[in-house]
Each structure stands twice: as structure tokens, then as C-alpha cells.
Amino acid sequence: MKELLRATTEHALQYLDSLQSRPVAPDAEAVANLKSLDIALPREGTAPSEVIQELDEFGRPATMAMAGPRFFGFVIGGSLPAALAANWLVSAWDQNTGLYNSTPATSYIEEIALKWLVDLLGLPSQTAGAFVSGTSVAHLTALAAARHSVLERAGWDVESDGLFGAPPVTVIIGKEAHPTLHKALGIIGLGRKRVLEVPADSQGRMQTAKIPRVSGPAIICVQAGNVNTGSFDSIGEACEIAKEIGAWVHVDGAFGLWANVAPTRAHLVAGVEQADSWATDGHKWLNVPYDSGIAFVRDANALRASMSISAEYLPHASEHRNPSD
């Protein structure tokens, strides 16, 4: 085991050292050579050292140098040294981190990290959160909590009774909302197209003054950072309208929520603390390894009600929150 890990470390270090000078994109030959890995399932085991050697030989040249200093595509950041090293360490720990009683160390550390993030991002102190794979799943998580909350206020238990016969939920989004938001709405049964779209200006900002004053259960989704233009919706204004009509406000802050950390950019997300839920990524501006998304929900009970499970074999007798809740 030690020799295998040392050899793997050497391969990883060689890769990291190459990022300063290697081409950002792989060449056609390197990509074509990936076919060497596409063989029939071996009937006999392969030596671990051979597995690592083949991955390095064929995988390394075909990677995109996203962690290098000359990659500027999409909204992707390389990992900071401490984050990369910690990722290696926790991989060795191999913790499930679903229940506190089963994995107290990583469960406790997650809660500390979430508390720090709530403080860093300037969110309400009572905000609960969860680490997920990315903003796509953070949307899914936060909107499930939103669905629970708005329907609970209407006297409907959506987790028990589903959406058949439930009071209709009006979802309001901007014309240029990110497609992952539509996807999340579809998955939780609120519909990708069953939404009210608010017109956007030339930079993709929602024209919040045109948000319809609806009645009944409602969710307003605003955007902190348009991926095409970098523009921000007027979050504070949307939150004021939401108060008038009793709507839940969800913020798509995949990369833009971090503006609240920078004093010179915080005005872009003015009023963001008034929202009810937020979705963002750690693998963008926080520079941690993939995958790292975070869902935040002001009402911890709504998050827990929409996500928690129980089973006879699962230990729940703990004063600490389970990360799976």
C-alpha cells in the first residue's frame, strides 16, 4: 500500500509541476489514445501499480489543464494547496459522512465548515446547509425545502402526500435563468416550463419591477451572477416583493454569491441576506477540488423535513445534526 501511494503521489506531483508549461488543451493524439483503456472487462485482476501506471500514461496527457495558470474557460478554479492536500487525506479516511454516530469526525468538521461559510457569506446566523456535488444539486436541495415550506403554509404535506392534488405552486424566474434551475424544478415536480418568466434587460438582469404579484404558494428564483454577462439581479428588490406576496426567494449564486465577501463588490448582492435559500459552488471562487457545492436554507426545519429519512438500522439518537438531514 505505501509503495503504491508513494508512486501515485509522484505521478500527481509530476502532473502539477507540468501545469506551468504544458498546453492547456490536450492534443488530438492524446485524446485518441484514450481508446487504449476501452478494453473488454478483464477476467482476472490487474496489479494496482499497473492500474495507476495506465491511468497516468493515458489519462494525464488527455486532461484539460484546468488547474493551471493559463486556463480561463467556463467558471472553473484550480485547487488551493491546502484544499488539495485535505482532499487526499479525507480520501484515505474514507468516511461515509451520512450520520453523526457513524462518522463523528467528518460530520463535526462539516458543521464547522458550514458555520464558517454562513458567516463568511453574510447569511442569517440560523441558516442551515449541506455540502453537495455542485450548484445543480444545491438548487435541487434548496428548492425541495422551498416546496415543503410554501405547501406546508397552505396546509399540504408534500413529503407524505406528493404533488397530486396539492395546491399549485407558482414559480417565478428570470428570462435568463441558468438551465440547471429549470432542471431542478423539473426533478422536484414543479416543472421546467410551468413557470412565470420575468423579462430580462440587455445584460440578462431580471426586471424585478415586473415580477407578478401572485397569490398562493410561490417561489421566486433570482440570479447572483449571469454566467454569460456577469450581471446581477436586484436581489433586495425581489425580496421586498416576495414579502408582499408571501413568496419564498431562492438565489442562484453559483459564482456570484461570493461577491458578498468582497467589500468592493458586495453592493452587487445587496439584500441577499433577506432571501430564504441560496445555492453556490466551492469549486469556483473558493478553489477547492471538484465536486463541491453548497445549499443554504434559512429555515433549518424546512431543509430537514424535505431531506431527512429514518430506518430501523440507522442510528439517530444523537444531539448532533446528521449531514444527511
C-beta separation of 181 from 277 below 8 A: no
Alpha-carbon span 50 to 275, nearest angstrom: 52
Owner of C-alpha cell 417565478: 172
Contacts of 166 (CB under 8 A, 6+ apart): 151, 156, 158
Owner of C-alpha cell 495507476: 52
C-beta separation of 196 from 214 below 8 A: yes
C-beta separation of 248 from 220 below 8 A: yes
- pLDDT given at position 313: 75
Paired sense of beta strands 170-174 and 218-223, if any: parallel
C-beta separation of 129 from 173 below 8 A: no
> Across the beta sheet with 170-174, what order do the strands follow?
128-132, 293-297, 277-281, 248-252, 218-223, 170-174, 196-198
Name the 3-class secondary structure at 219: strand
Contacts of 256 (CB under 8 A, 6+ apart): 223, 224, 225, 230, 232, 268, 269
pTM over 0.85: yes
- pLDDT given at position 316: 61
197 φ, ψ (degrees, to nearest 5) = -95, 130
Alpha-carbon span 127 to 110, nearest angstrom: 14
Report in angstroms the alpha-carbon separations of 65 from 17, 25, 78: 11, 6, 9
- pLDDT given at position 183: 98
160 grid coordinates: 407524505
Owner of C-alpha cell 501545469: 19
- pLDDT given at position 136: 97
Cross-strand partners of 226: none
Binned average pLDDT, 10 residues per bin, the chain of 325 residues: 96 96 96 97 95 97 94 88 96 91 92 97 97 97 98 98 97 98 98 97 97 98 97 98 98 98 98 98 94 97 91 69 73
Name the amino acid, one letter, at 214. Answer: V
CATH class given for the domain over 93-307: alpha beta
pLDDT digits (tens, 9 = 90+) for 284-314: 999 999 999 999 999 999 999 999 887 777 7
290 grid coordinates: 471538484
Cross-strand partners of 296: 129, 278
140 grid coordinates: 435541487
pLDDT digits (tens, 9 = 90+) for 124-181: 999 999 999 999 999 999 999 999 999 999 999 999 999 999 999 999 999 999 999 9
Buried b (16+ CB within 10 A) or exposed e, 198-220: bebeeebbbebeebeeeeebbbb
Give the start-end residues of each E strand in the chain: 128-132, 170-174, 196-198, 218-223, 248-252, 277-281, 293-297
C-beta separation of 206 from 175 below 8 A: yes
C-beta separation of 173 from 181 below 8 A: yes
**Cis, peptide link before residue 291, omega less than 30° from 0:** yes
Contacts of 214 (CB under 8 A, 6+ apart): 170, 172, 196, 245, 247
275: left (phi over 0), alpha (psi -120 to 50) or beta: beta
